[in-house]
Structure 1
């Protein structure tokens, strides 16, 4: 283990859930009570031997003690406290790490409080636009998508129970053993769910539960039609599993529960069309060549990228990727990450991220080496895609897709061919509002935790100096 494992809060929570005293637990772990007490209070890290004992005594997977989730929580907490601290000195990285290690629940509650503060602040700033509306609209609940994004974010974008069930279902209907997946899915819906598929203009997908008819828009690309059928198959076949996940998530807002139900069905649909082990083996064989993989699995470029970001099954992990979809205004409409790569929770993304450049290079795949302020380096892949509107009066929808992983996995990617991995990287950040790079010429506005000075008799690319 390269990094020390401070597992105090997790060990204490597991022990209390078992109802064991400190002495009872120490005996099961073959440790002294004082040593276990020091582990629980994060005075001592857990060794590899202790980690093995913990997984056996509590009958849990070692991935439960993975520090990647803590790293994401620390990064989110850093952005929040920087925002709150404003011109005051924010907590150091060591203090934030200690807070997450000792009180992860308190850290999550602080993040929730900060999100509430941001939303209230935004509403107050736009109060002049809302005057005249009733009070219920002024106090409307937050968008549920934020809660759902965090749900997937802190699960490493991998839902084990659904993924396993989807893989088993895919094998039973032999989805990848046919050259006509659409017919296979139609048959599966009929045989397993008693649902008939009909093609009709209108919404992309509409299910008549009373008549048990699934209506699919015929003008959609075949890969989209297949995905919509797989979505409905998942909603029916995995209803109990999905509801169990929703109960575990315990969202405060009903709308968030509804959004997450669709998100979980979409997740399962991707897992049916691209079953885990076969997909992972193909990814390794083809060195993650998305174009070749989408042909193998009758999927779109976006669907393959999204699926690549979910390959985090314990004991059978793939390359940890981030995946994002960005519209032409810079809004991140999808974001998933199994890496340390951080997406801006508030404000715009870094203008140096090559996903923005993809719009000016249609049908090309852009690849570069980028470095984040913490020194971590990423292979960043970007490509623009268009989704047909269907008529002259309905313009095409255009997006840019971003896919990336840390440089240590570069040898597993076909996209690093010809890329100088030892050359100078693009110096990226998360967002201008919290970026530590004081010399960036692409800065849109000063970071919120720095004082600034505006010279009266001097002008550079950035019209101010940062303290």
Structure 2
């Protein structure tokens, strides 16, 4: 990682501003002169291994993630995906131009990505009367909330602290559902009752504030009923924390505000069921065995997988996982990352990743080593899960993909017996539009910024051959 010169000026400047520091203050904390820091931020000097180590020590950052964000990850991939759109093809925007923009002007790259996202959403949904004059409302609530959560690296310290305190007050029973129910009743006068699907009228849970009654569908599985109670308790007990986070986030409209409220309450519910310290200790003890963690905390596979992506507490980090959830058609309905992973912002997933194959091996754990175009390798696990409520309309299985950098794979129970040095590695990409791999038979679209090399006298494995860099 440090054998090549790393010019990370934009990332270094952003880190300083995120910490609210002037150049002199940061230089003093790193033990360098303000003029040298100024040279680093202006890319007039490369960031050395010594500076990276000082940054990690002073600000508790992941060195590899920090360094990679200055390279071909992050904004460059998102910007490249934007330029796959046909409206830009005549411009001939090269990969090098995209990289230079993302490296030297990350805020500009993000602005272009936001504009394009808003354009895409406007094509699908005309602007309504509830935009409240905020142009950010042109982006759908789902996209806005997803980006906000990822900008926080899927970790909210204040919610974690509040949930951990609450979880400790509930004790350490064999099942947390009953203590949760008692807390709702004793602290807030809320009763919990299981109701028939007919009474629920299609809902999975409903809270009636006038009657102080929480109704849970009888079709919910036990762990989802527990989660439902924890969700309602988080809305009441952790309301001040959630309200502060929402106020600081400044959602652009009412719909986005409500979705963010639900997302933060869901986060808190998982943290109540699986308090940070206890969960991390158990995860390390069981070598991140999902089945063991499910049994320990009375949770299901999806709840545990999602919780694993949030282990990012300063000074007490777990394995940094990323997670995807898809349906049989490949639609992505959840996407979280505890570390850097080149997710596609506008598309699905690479068909070479065996996340899709999990549907042909229902109930089994499918492992795979994958390599992204930048040479980073990841150990991944895919398995099917059942929906919280299974009805004729809700359909059957979904698939969860969970992965981490290969350097952490030796810590995982599911990697035991696999020779990580010699096991076959599958080359994958974030999406066809931004994947630079030339000889891929699965390619569905040509990549952005590349010149096609199609000829009527010669056919290739890839339907869109192109000229290499």
> Normalised by the size of structure 2, how large is the TM-score?
0.84
Give the match's secondary structure for 1:333. Answer: strand
Q: Which residue of 1 aligns with 2:89?
A: 86
Q: Which residue of 1 aligns with 2:330?
A: 330
Which is further off, 42-51 or 265-274?
42-51
Quick one: structure 1 residues 46 and 460, their matched pair in 2 at CA, closer, same or farther if it must change by over 3 Å? closer
2:175 to 147, 172, 180: 180
Q: CA deviation at 1:460?
A: 4.8
1:10 aligns with 2:10: no
Q: CA deviation at 1:248?
A: 1.8
Distance in 1 separating the partners of 2:30 and 2:127: 60
Q: Which residue of 2 aligns with 1:153?
A: 150
Q: Which residue of 1 aligns with 2:268?
A: 268
**How do 1:47-446 residues align onto structure 2 when only pairs under 5 Å count?**
61-63=59-61, 67=66, 71-81=73-83, 83=85, 86=89, 88-90=91-93, 92=95, 99=101, 103-120=105-122, 122-123=123-124, 141-174=138-171, 177-201=172-196, 202=200, 203-387=203-387, 389-390=389-390, 393-394=392-393, 396-421=395-420, 422-446=422-446
Q: CA deviation at 1:373?
A: 0.8
Contact 1:82 1:90 in 2 (8 A): no
Question: Pairwise CA RMSD of aligned residues?
Answer: 3.3
Give the match's secondary structure for 1:354. Answer: coil
Distance in 1 separating the partners of 2:401 and 2:181: 32
Q: CA deviation at 1:27?
A: 7.4
Deviations 1:334-391 (A, max 9, x none): 0001222222111232111111111111111110111111111111110112227555
Quick one: structure 1 residues 195 and 324, their matched pair in 2 at CA, closer, same or farther if it must change by over 3 Å? same
Quick one: structure 1 residues 427 and 258, their matched pair in 2 at CA, closer, same or farther if it must change by over 3 Å? same
State the structure with bigger RCO (CA 8 A, min sep 6), 1 or 2.
Answer: 2
Q: CA deviation at 1:26?
A: 6.5
Q: CA deviation at 1:165?
A: 1.1
Contact 2:80 2:448 in 1 (8 A): no
Deviations 1:118-154 (A, max 9, x none): 334x44xxxxxx9xx99879x9943210111111112
Q: Which residue of 2 aligns with 1:37?
A: 38
Which is further off, 450-459 or 206-215?
450-459
Distance in 2 separating the partners of 1:29 and 1:464: 48
Contact 2:353 2:428 in 1 (8 A): yes
Unaligned runs of 5+ in 2: none
Give the match's secondary structure for 1:151. Answer: helix
Distance in 1 separating the partners of 2:158 and 2:455: 59
Quick one: structure 1 residues 159 and 97, their matched pair in 2 at CA, closer, same or farther if it must change by over 3 Å? farther
Which is further off, 319-328 or 455-464?
455-464
Distance in 1 separating the partners of 2:139 and 2:56: 38
Quick one: structure 1 residues 363 and 232, their matched pair in 2 at CA, closer, same or farther if it must change by over 3 Å? same
Q: CA deviation at 1:100?
A: 5.0
Unaligned runs of 5+ in 1: 124-129
Give the match's secondary structure for 2:152. Answer: coil
Quick one: structure 1 residues 51 and 383, their matched pair in 2 at CA, closer, same or farther if it must change by over 3 Å? closer
Quick one: structure 1 residues 314 and 218, their matched pair in 2 at CA, closer, same or farther if it must change by over 3 Å? same
> Normalised by the size of structure 1, how large is the TM-score?
0.84
Deviations 1:150-189 (A, max 9, x none): 1111211111111111111101111xx2123221110011
